[in-house]
């Protein structure tokens, strides 16, 4: 069931999303060659705490037999890792890496979700283009995130833009509604047919998140039960914001 947020709920969402954006700002300022993914995770956790929030990801139970609750405050995925990379003291970020950080701040019972792919030092032109296209795919999608349009209009716009740039979208994972829960209805694929799916209404809050692969769309899940990587070893990037559907243009809540 898709929830329509009240004015009060929207204000609470704005605050959770502000903390999410501030946390990404802290990460952007700190990320550099030689830092570990565990270091980034610690920075994120401390920043969220500073602003009165906690990570919604830490301790998240997927409900899958044999897969433990998520152990960290962020998902940090490097190069060919698509999503859900688990931070580690042994994972050192290097010059030229592209590092996707996905985080969800939970404050006053509401969630703000955003992902960024950071380019560390001097990256290849191919990596830079992938990151830029992934970000632009989000903005191509939200051109259609308007009252009266359908979820499929957003999904179609993302998928067609990515395809036009010579890349692939991940099909097994998607964006989602968000509010009191990190994952709410509706699901928002990064591909699909225009004119399909539920109609968008003011008060809906959605996490729209293109996950783009440089090569073929096929993915693997690693033995940790969390980390998703490209099968062909090609690079992947991720860009996500929480948005609010309004009477007019969508409002992006997780950008300062």
pLDDT at 170: 97
| Greatest Cα-to-Cα distance within the chain, rounded to the nearest angstrom | 48
pLDDT value, residue 122: 97
d(CA 252, CA 206): 10
**pLDDT of 46:** 98
**Per-domain residue ranges for the chain?**
7-252
Tens of pLDDT along the chain (256 residues) come to 899 999 999 999 999 999 999 999 999 999 999 999 999 999 999 999 999 999 999 999 999 898 999 999 999 999 999 999 999 999 999 999 999 999 999 999 999 999 999 999 999 999 999 999 999 999 999 999 999 999 999 999 999 999 999 999 999 999 999 999 999 999 999 999 999 999 999 999 999 999 999 999 999 999 999 999 999 999 999 999 999 999 999 999 999 9
Residues 66, 224: Cα–Cα separation, whole Å: 10
> Which fold is adopted by the domain 7-252?
Creatine Amidinohydrolase (3.90.230)
Evaluate if pTM is beyond 0.95: yes
Residue 4 to residues 35, 110, 177, 196, 248, Cα–Cα distance (Å): 41, 14, 10, 20, 16
Side-chain half-sphere CA neighbours of 254 within 13 A: 29
């Amino acid at each position: 069931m898709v929830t329509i947020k009240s004015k009060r709920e929207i204000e609470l969402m704005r605050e959770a999303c502000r903390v999410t954006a501030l946390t990404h700002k802290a990460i952007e300022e700190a990320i550099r060659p030689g830092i570990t993914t565990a270091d980034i995770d610690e920075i994120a956790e401390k920043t969220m705490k500073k602003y009165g929030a906690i990570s919604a990801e830490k301790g998240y139970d997927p409900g899958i037999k044999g897969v433990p609750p998520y152990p960290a405050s962020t998902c940090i995925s490097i190069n060919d890792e698509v999503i859900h990379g688990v931070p580690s003291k042994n994972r050192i970020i290097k010059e030229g890496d592209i590092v996707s950080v996905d985080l969800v701040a939970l404050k006053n019972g509401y969630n703000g979700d955003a992902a960024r792919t950071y380019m560390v030092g001097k990256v290849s032109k191919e990596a830079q283009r992938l990151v830029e296209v992934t970000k632009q795919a989000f903005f191509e999608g939200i051109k259609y995130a308007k009252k009266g349009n359908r979820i499929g209009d957003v999904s179609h716009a993302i998928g067609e833009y990515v395809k036009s740039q010579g890349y692939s979208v991940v099909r097994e994972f998607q964006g989602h509604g968000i509010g009191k829960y990190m994952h709410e209805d509706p699901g928002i694929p990064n591909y699909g047919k225009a004119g399909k799916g539920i109609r968008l209404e003011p008060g809906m809050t959605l996490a729209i998140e293109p996950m783009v692969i440089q090569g073929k769309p096929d993915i693997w899940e690693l033995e940790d039960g969390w980390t998703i990587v490209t099968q062909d070893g090609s690079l992947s990037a991720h860009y996500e914001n929480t948005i609010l559907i309004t009477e007019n243009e969508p409002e992006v809540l997780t950008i300062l």
